[in-house]
Structure 1
Amino acid sequence: METFNLTHSSRSTFILMGIPGLEAAHVWFSIPFSTCYLISLLGNVMVLFVVGKEQTLHKPMYLLLCMLALTDLGISTSVVPKTLCIFWFNFKGITMVGCLTQMFFVHATSAMNSAVLLTMAFDRYVAICYPLRYTIILSNAQIANLGLMGLIRAVLFILTLPLFLSRQHFCSSHVIPQTHCDNMAVLKMSCGDITFNRLYGLVIAFLITGLDLMLVAISYSLIFKAVLRISSKKAHQKALNTCTAHICVMLSSSTFSLFSSLSHRFGQGIPPYVHITLANLYFLVPPMLNPIIYGVKTKELRDKFVKYTCRK
């Protein structure tokens, strides 16, 4: 297949290079990419199906799991299909509008994912520290309102990123050494002053990822403080077990998200192919692992999975 013609590409078209330096191995990279994506689709769709079908699972915790599944699907779907087109068919071109649209969905779904994880931490805090008032503090309607607030925050904060970028003048080379249109990767092609854009991106990263992680840490400090007051070791274990799945999900999502965000700004010494390969793990690993983690650690959900998957 012919390589995409860079010299005759339109000025309104960007070129996504995939993983620079490892173009010969793109087909091999497509195997783990497509495998992780298919597992992610299957797992998250199964969560949505099971919770939707089972009236007994129409509770705040499982509604949050559905929100997490939707954001995981959004994160992976906004990047992986286009990446596979690059790997399989060498379709590297993407219009400026398409690039800015992809950028919006990548960052907006990531921001929404962060909001859902924060709400799940608050859910665990209420369940452990105020178990008798749980149904009063957190109803299904309250969870829906919190989800709506997270969505509004994501749209309002993230929409300005592509809007600011659309006003920038880009140099003659529209080549993006990435598998997707990331804010910082596109900014680096600008010929104008990008100081404001950089500062705004850092502020957004702090107000969304940084602030959410801080609030999650506060929630867990209060949870551990409450657990330590319990004299029974069995009660200790039971209380902590209710948080295990969320802690595992937080570690996988936050680690890859922070690495991807910070390495763009401060990782000049990292070889591009290493940075791009590891950054893509954020779009592959957490969406794949999250339904597995909750399926294994949550008995009620696990039993419903077995009910539907093992039905004769």
Structure 2
Amino acid sequence: MTKLLKGFDKKIIFNLINFLVNKDLESAIAYFSCNYQKIYDNNDNLCIFYNVVNSCYIFNLFQSSKNRYQLLYWALKGKGYTDSIFHIPINYLCYISLNSINYPSEILIDRLEEWKILYLANEIPFNTKKILASYYIQKDNDDNLFKNHVEASPLYFLRKMQQPNLVDFLKLIEIFPYLSITSKILDYGCGSADLSLLLGKMGFSVSICDIDGGNLNGALKRFSIRGINLENVYKSTPEKPIPIISMKFDLIIALEVVEHVRDPLQLLETFNSSLNNKGIIILGSFPFNSTDDTGDHLIESVSLQNELLKWINTHWIRMPGIQYGNIFRKN
């Protein structure tokens, strides 16, 4: 056993196990992303690491959590970035990377380096449980909610940069045949803006919307450093959580947005009035799947699941033949 572990990096494996045992999956994602090359380059680290990942405790921990954590679990096992279904999204991640990326194994490094540029940071924060504690509690009014959104933005961006939802790219790819180069596109709740960056780089007219001072700032910097122009920028503020949209769009991307607003019916009305005739909208998992009001999900929205489903089915038509996601066309 001593011979087997002569190159074992105790600190890396100990810290990762500590995050997992304490169920701090956000920190586990960050730590793995920063150190995965050291883990995979060292056979002794890899041997111990696989024993940890293959344990029943770790498997059950990830399986009982959100989808992004389940994706991480398979990434930890060396499968998440090599499944054939993900080769197209990986190519798109390469396409919007800052540097010339040729191999999937380099993507995380590139994206973490970009995060440091965006937030003028030398170190990656790992104690996310402590930092996010107030964010999960103080959401009783829009001032507190938006303040916490802004404070948590660096961590949100970090998660998106290290664990992009590759399935979102597949949703976008499915509606490419319905777009033309003149299509106008709004990425509402753009977050780290991977999809709108891709569309902008492809030559589409792109507008974005997110929380002013928070995620929106990071997204704007990503467009700026690539020299990609935006047609419009819409800012969500405590005074105007759902901004007035001043133009019509052929495609609205609104992934994982509805459960985060206090007036989701107004949000859907805003989307509807901003879509061109036969315009397309890509929605997230809620209200099609149930959720609760933990984290930054709001009870004012999640309690209206049935009303939201009724509104959607009345105003929009689900597009046939779509494999990924909830994609609709305006009546």
TM range (shorter): under 0.3
TM-score, normalised with respect to structure 2: 0.25
TM-score, normalised with respect to structure 1: 0.26
* Higher helix fraction (1 or 2): 1
* Higher strand fraction (1 or 2): 2
